Amino acid sequence: MHVLIVGGGVVGLACAHALADRGAEVTVCEAGTLGGGSTGRAAGGIRTQFSTRVNVELSLASVPVWESFADDFGVDIDYRRSGYLFLARTEETAAAFRENVAMQTDAGAPSRVLSPEEAAEYLPELRAESFVAATFSAADGVADPHSAVQGYSDAVRAAGVDVRTKTPVTDLARVGGWRAETPDGPIDADAVVIAAGAWSGRVAALAGVDLPLAPRRRQIAVVEPEGDLPADAPLTIDLDTGAYFRPEREGTAIVGGHFSASDPDVDPDRFDESMDIEWAVEATERADDAAAYFGPETRIRNGWAGLYAVTPDHHAVLDEVEPGLVVAAGFSGHGFQHAPATGEAVADLCLGEDACGVDVSALSLDRFESGETLRERNVA
């Protein structure tokens, strides 16, 4: 069986790896460079603390791959298990936290609810008086997306995958199987996987499929904190304000979050990839509202902007939307961390197998027509 994958980010490469591992012939077409889209601009978070079971299970199925990545792929992805700390300022958010943790632990994730004082044991400069509850999981952490792309790309090439960069797919049509048009000529395949991140809606439209997927701009700033943020501090999310931060290398920190009521769609080929300094100041101030590491002496070093591929319910579409046409897109910022399990689920969909172990039926495209959408509340 020949499978064409459109998209050479970490999700597309993970799909290629899973399919090749199961004996499929695979071609990857990437319009630019491998990992040059959203993957290369991701914050690198890997967490099990989601508010829906399918997202938790995708994380739990992916974590073992990240844990053994250096041994299995020969590339160190700088995987650090410092945990995630979620913070609640309101009783409503705290109640949702308790529901989330009950579901997460039932699924097998080691998360727990903390008092603000207990949370301060993980983050000593936490402004505990501002919060009513927190959650923490030691299973969560961060890794380097660039290194993950390198590991996957080396592995798929070694497995015989035909990887073509600077090769956009310009048309998709069913001709028994599928035919993709590219500047280098047509490619015939038994199945096509659309894993093009924020560009996936455009690719799907070539095949007459309407994906409810919006490219949304998100920013990250690298700062030098005023205080000494420990290198093993958890990635911390102040969920009620949308701000997050985590330690980075050499004493720096990453701060991020989306704070504006306006969140327009952007053209993924023509968006501003630089960081807005006014946004970076606000992100740093909001981080300071949560923990006293960030103050007026914090120096903003640099930053960037990337794209989330956002669906109305902040969950991916992971589905065979037409015979032989599979979509793996719309992760709303969670694609990197869910890539290993997504690859296995996509291989199941393409090959008619059941090896992934995660039931992804809730992520079908038709949920938007049936009204059976999900709700992911833990989104930063």
pLDDT at residue 380, rounded to an integer:
67
pLDDT at residue 374, rounded to an integer:
86
What is the 3-class SS of 198-256, one letter each residue? HHHHHHHHHCCCCCCCEEEEEEEEEEECCCCCCCCCCEEEECCCCEEEEECHHHCEEEE
Burial class (CB in 10 A: 0-12, 13-18, 19+), 165: middle
Q: How many CB atoms lie within 10 A of CB 366?
A: 10
Helix H segments across the chain?
Answer: 10-21, 53-67, 69-73, 91-107, 116-122, 145-158, 200-206, 277-290, 335-351, 367-370
SS percent in the chain: helix, strand, coil, step 5: 35, 25, 40
Domains, the chain: 2-63+145-213+312-370 (3.50.50.60), 83-140+214-310 (3.30.9.10)
Query: Backbone phi, then psi, for 299, in 5-degree steps?
Result: -105, 125
- Alpha carbons 266 and 19: distance in angstroms, whole number: 32
DSSP letter at 141 equals E
Whether residue 309 contacts residue 334, with contact meaning beta carbons closer than 8 Å, is answered with no
Burial class (CB in 10 A: 0-12, 13-18, 19+), 229: buried
Of 233, 150, 273, nearest in space to 255 by CA = 233
The reported pTM is 0.96
Tally the residues of the chain. Answer: 380
Task: Find the distance separating the first CA and the last CA of the chain, reported in whole Å.
Answer: 39
Of 296, 218, 289, 303, nearest in space to 253 by CA = 303
Torsion of CA 107, 109, 110, 113, to 10 degrees: -80
pLDDT at residue 339, rounded to an integer:
98
The residues of the chain scoring below 50 in pLDDT are: none
Q: If DSSP codes are grouped into helix, strand and coil, which group holds residue 63?
A: helix
Q: How far are the Cα atoms of 12, 120, 260, 280, 376 from residue 86, in angstroms, in the given order?
A: 30, 12, 21, 21, 14
Question: Which tokens hold the place of 357?
Answer: 């172990």
